[in-house]
């Protein structure tokens, strides 16, 4: 296991910035292709803005619920998001994004703050967990989530992962085109 002290802050920042981007895009794409994530996102009000960030001005992503109940990444917002999940320190985000600590453990250890309705925060965590279960190898996913779903078939995992990875890759190509 890599300790946060053995990884220089500049490297932690680069890694967390990359992971925040991948997670934001992955969540958006999961809201388009996975039935469970679609169902969760459909329960957010249209126009609902959520964000995840590292305190004070670290890496972040912002997403909005569209008219068709999918998530869309935003570059910025004029007003405060409806829900913001904030890591209190870069090293706390590194622990979660390097799969040394699950999101649930980070909340339990008071490394993250949910600013907004707690029921929406729980819904977002369920979306993140499902996305992670689909896109990560099982060994990493078991570290990332509180409980790995026993009913997830290999076919469902591979199909979901392929669909999300394809859409994430396409989103990078669209951005650079």
Q: Is the pLDDT of residue 174 over 70?
A: yes
**Looking at per-residue confidence, does 67 or 176 come out higher?**
67
Asked if CATH classification 1.10.150.650 holds for the domain at 4-170, the reply, yes or no, is: no
Q: What ranges do the domains of the chain cover?
A: 4-170
> What is the pLDDT confidence band of residue 145, given thresholds at 50, 70 and 90?
confident
Q: What is the rounded distance in angstroms from the CA atom of residue 112 to the CA atom of residue 175?
A: 30
**Considering the entire predicted model, what is its pTM?**
0.85
Q: Write out the two tokens for 149.
A: 């779903």
């Amino acid at each position: 296991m890599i300790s946060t002290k053995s990884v220089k802050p500049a490297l932690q920042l680069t890694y967390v910035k990359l992971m925040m981007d991948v997670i934001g895009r992955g969540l958006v794409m999961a809201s388009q292709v996975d039935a469970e994530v679609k169902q969760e996102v459909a329960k957010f009000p249209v126009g609902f803005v959520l964000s995840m960030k590292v305190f004070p001005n670290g890496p972040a992503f912002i997403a909005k619920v569209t008219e068709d109940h999918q998530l869309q990444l935003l570059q910025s917002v004029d007003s405060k998001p409806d829900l913001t999940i904030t890591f209190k320190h870069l090293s706390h985000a590194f622990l979660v994004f390097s799969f040394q600590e699950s999101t649930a453990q980070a909340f339990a250890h008071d490394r993250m703050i949910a600013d907004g309705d707690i029921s929406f925060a729980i819904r977002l965590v369920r979306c993140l967990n499902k996305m992670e279960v689909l896109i990560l190898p099982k060994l990493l996913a078991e570290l990332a989530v509180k409980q790995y779903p026993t009913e997830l078939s290999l076919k469902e995992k591979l199909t979901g992962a392929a669909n999300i990875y394809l859409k994430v890759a396409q989103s990078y190509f669209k951005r650079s085109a």
